[in-house]
Structure 1
């Protein structure tokens, strides 16, 4: 298995998405795509995350890793009988804040979350604050993830915090924020009322798990 992970890692370095898919397809022909999620995808993403921490992988390479993960996940979902692939970590509501249309980062976050076993409700671009909270309440989600690319749109995330406060949901539903502007201005996380942010899409599952645990602890569960 380690040899397979090493070969996939090499293909990611070389941006060989098609080669990675062919290799996984051959493995899944014997073991199945559902097994590929736990036996191939999870260790691969763990290695990618460790390499990112060591600054041994580029943003472009992490993007390819995300696309390979998305490919595996989609094949596993297509091959699975209805109801056999269930999220085990809960649900996250994702979207770009109102007037923001930069979807790439959000979509990568969604891919890594699904690969890590989260249920993801992706509301898309230009999402009003009220809709984020409505969908989170409806789905029983413990975390809302809001993305914005630029300062002018990122400040609109404050409206999500205000809506959570207004309904008495702050602390029960956590607010994760992300996007390029938060790397440039990390103080913006607190300014818009965010409960946390991740360095990149690879780190998003760990952030969501941390926020979910904080939510549960706050209710004494």
Structure 2
């Protein structure tokens, strides 16, 4: 039986208490309960406030726990789905144009032999909320497949994720493929995953054009890389 839903909208409820309760629900794999708590706050304060004051702190905590291996795959999955639930509701409730105009296509995926999809899924959710047309290629994607899809769709940014060092080194193949086809500069390479926070020098080692500190920061990174691509000029 699901735990009873407390009233978290009264004056006695602090944001800190609400964030803690949402995290507890996620720890209990209670996706619906966690989402409803955020919905309660949004009904009074709006989804913009709910995202900034509740969802973002929750996801940062989940991300920190994930990197320390202090959260299970199931709990991480629930956190990602809660984020997706709330962002989709925010998009549906927002007046047209609040989240900005629809932006161009971007390609994301996990590099060959990497199957840790949680982080990539969160990145995709935040990119879509920011207006990007996201082409998610899933796990175990080869360098050639990434570049082929970017060329096919006109994407100017490829986002490649890897969790472990042994798989992250394979991202270098995407840079080599872009260089081989003369596309570096016109198609930018964003890289991400837990290993890049532990070893930031790895971004340069694999030929990345940039990385983001969290999934929430990904839209800013992709916008910056897209603009750099435009500045480089030329057609793909």
Normalised by the size of structure 2, how large is the TM-score? 0.69
Verify: 1:12 aligned to 2:34, yes or no.
no
Tell me whether 87-96 or 149-158 shows the greater mean CA deviation.
87-96
Cα deviation digits, residues 99-151 of structure 1 (max 9, x gap): 11111111111112112221111111110101101111111111100011222
The structural deviation recorded for 1:46 is 3.7
Task: State whether residues 107 and 134 of structure 2, in contact with CA within 8 Å, keep that contact through their aligned partners in structure 1.
Answer: yes
The structural deviation recorded for 1:188 is 0.8
The structural deviation recorded for 1:27 is 9.3
Q: Hey, what's the Cα distance between the residues in 2 that align with 1:179 and 1:99?
A: 14
Match of 1:44 in 2: 50
Verify: 1:202 aligned to 2:188, yes or no.
no
Number of equivalences = 203
Equivalent of residue 139 in structure 1, options 153, 158, 175: 153
The structural deviation recorded for 1:182 is 1.1
Query: Structure 2: 5+ residue runs without aligned partners?
Result: 1-8, 67-75, 94-98
Query: Structure 1: 5+ residue runs without aligned partners?
Result: 31-38, 80-84
Cα deviation digits, residues 140-170 of structure 1 (max 9, x gap): 1111000112222111111101111111111
Q: Hey, what's the Cα distance between the residues in 2 that align with 1:168 and 1:47?
A: 44
The CA RMSD measured in Å over matched residues stands at 3.7
The structural deviation recorded for 1:207 is 1.1
Cα 1:69–1:195 shift into 2, 3 Å: same
Q: Residue 94 of structure 1: SS of its match in structure 2?
A: strand
Task: State whether residues 22 and 37 of structure 2, in contact with CA within 8 Å, keep that contact through their aligned partners in structure 1.
Answer: no
